[in-house]
């Protein structure tokens, strides 16, 4: 099994508050890994360190064989191009139509001609199941379509790794299913490494190849959905059952 990302003994504090107290995690290449855990346990902070946007206080992150701590600014920017990112609200540019939204990273990071840009934009839109919407504005689209446009933009530069930060938070069950399928299909079609931060246990069990649960600055369990379902780890059991009683401290 090939490893795309290795996080080794990661420590990160903000002032007195220790968010990460020694995170160790291997992200399997070309698989879908879900990162779960209570609010405020540092899931987003972990993603930022994986992308090299935040520096760890101690420990290191190795992305596709490169130790981020040894890279200069230019090399870091190059590594970042290997990531696609889909945020909770899709974060589209409201003043740009769908075509321009998806073309944006290509215009920013490549010197491709319009003809080639057009080909890529239409291909990515088709891949996420959208046709004939290029000239619509984001405000004219449904939430599900906006997510698809966000995903088309995230994969425009053909990233090797795609990060989803709470992609289904705030969605109704049907939309949640649509987005889950989108994550699954995208992974299957492109065969890329996917990391998903989620609070949605049902989605996690349905889509994940591997799950890592983070609590109190550490990974309390890593395994397959089957292993999570069977475990008697009290932290995992409490989190999955959504109970206020157990070793996880609330507030
Ligand atoms: N730049 C920053 N400066 C100071 N504190 C920060 C910063 N970024 C994050 N934090 C703190 O680090 C902790 C972890 O934040 P993070 O957003 O990673 O949690 P999370 O697990 O993603 O939470 P949620 O599930 O609620 O999104 C929080 O207490 C947050 O306030």
What CATH number did the domain enclosing 18 receive? 3.40.50.300
> Residue 30: inside a domain, yes or no?
yes
- What is the domain range of residue 125? 3-241
Does ligand 1 come within 6 angstroms of the Cβ of 16? Answer: no
Does ligand 1 come within 6 angstroms of the Cβ of 47? Answer: no
> Residue 247: inside a domain, yes or no?
no
> Residue 249: inside a domain, yes or no?
no
Instruction: Please give the pLDDT value at position 1.
Output: 86
- Mean pLDDT (whole number) for 224-250: 91
User: Number of structural domains, the chain?
Assistant: 1
- Mean pLDDT (whole number) for 108-125: 93
Does ligand 1 come within 6 angstroms of the Cβ of 12? Answer: no
> Residue 158: inside a domain, yes or no?
yes
Instruction: Tell me how far the alpha carbon of residue 126 lies from the centroid of ligand 1, in angstroms.
Output: 35
> Residue 129: inside a domain, yes or no?
yes
Q: How far is CA 11 from the centre of its chain?
A: 21
- What confidence category does residue 90 fall into, taking pLDDT thresholds of 50, 70 and 90? low
Instruction: Please give the pLDDT value at position 135.
Output: 95
- What confidence category does residue 251 fall into, taking pLDDT thresholds of 50, 70 and 90? low
Closest residue by CA, ligand 1 atom 14: 42
Instruction: Please give the pLDDT value at position 24.
Output: 98
Predicted TM-score of the model (pTM): 0.91
pLDDT tens-digit readout, 152-210: 998 898 899 999 988 888 778 887 888 888 889 888 888 899 999 998 898 999 999 99
- Mean pLDDT (whole number) for 85-104: 87
Instruction: Please give the pLDDT value at position 89.
Output: 66
Mutate which of 40, 56, 165 to test ligand 1's pocket (most atoms within 8 Å of Cβ)?
40
Q: Which of 38-42, 134-138, 140-144, 184-188 has the lowest mean pLDDT?
A: 140-144
Instruction: Please give the pLDDT value at position 87.
Output: 75
Instruction: Please give the pLDDT value at position 216.
Output: 93
Instruction: Tell me how far the alpha carbon of residue 72 lies from the centroid of ligand 1, in angstroms.
Output: 26
Instruction: Please give the pLDDT value at position 125.
Output: 92
Instruction: Please give the pLDDT value at position 196.
Output: 96
Instruction: Please give the pLDDT value at position 147.
Output: 84
- In contact, 46 and 33? CB cutoff 8 Å: no
Nearest to 180 by CA among 142, 154, 147: 147
The percent of residues above 90 in pLDDT, for the chain, comes to 65
> Residue 182: inside a domain, yes or no?
yes
pLDDT at 214 > cutoff 90 = yes
> Residue 48: inside a domain, yes or no?
yes
Does ligand 1 come within 6 angstroms of the Cβ of 41? Answer: yes
Closest residue by CA, ligand 1 atom 31: 40
> Residue 52: inside a domain, yes or no?
yes
């Amino acid at each position: 099994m090939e490893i795309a990302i290795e996080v080794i003994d990661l420590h990160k504090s903000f002032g007195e508050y220790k968010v990460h107290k020694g995170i160790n995690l291997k992200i399997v290449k070309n698989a879908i890994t879900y990162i779960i855990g209570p609010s405020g346990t540092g899931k987003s902070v972990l993603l930022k360190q994986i992308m090299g946007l935040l520096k760890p206080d101690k420990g290191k992150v190795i992305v596709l064989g490169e130790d981020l701590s040894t890279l200069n600014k230019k090399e870091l920017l190059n590594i970042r191009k290997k990531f696609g990112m889909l945020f909770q609200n899709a974060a589209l540019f409201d003043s740009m139509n769908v075509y321009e939204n998806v073309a944006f990273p290509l215009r920013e990071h490549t010197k491709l001609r319009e003809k080639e840009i057009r080909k890529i934009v239409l291909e990515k839109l088709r891949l996420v199941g959208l046709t004939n919407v290029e000239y619509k504005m984001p405000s004219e689209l449904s939430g599900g379509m906006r997510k698809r446009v966000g995903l088309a933009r995230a994969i425009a530069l053909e990233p090797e790794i795609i990060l989803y930060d709470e992609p289904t938070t705030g969605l109704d069950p049907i939309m949640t299913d649509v987005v889950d399928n989108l994550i699954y299909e995208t992974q299957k079609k492109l065969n890329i490494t996917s990391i998903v931060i989620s609070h949605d246990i049902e989605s996690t069990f349905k889509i994940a190849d591997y799950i890592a649960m983070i609590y109190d600055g550490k990974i309390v369990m890593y395994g397959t959905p089957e292993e999570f379902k069977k475990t008697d780890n009290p932290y995992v059991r409490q989190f999955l059952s959504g109970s206020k009683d157990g070793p996880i401290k609330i507030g």
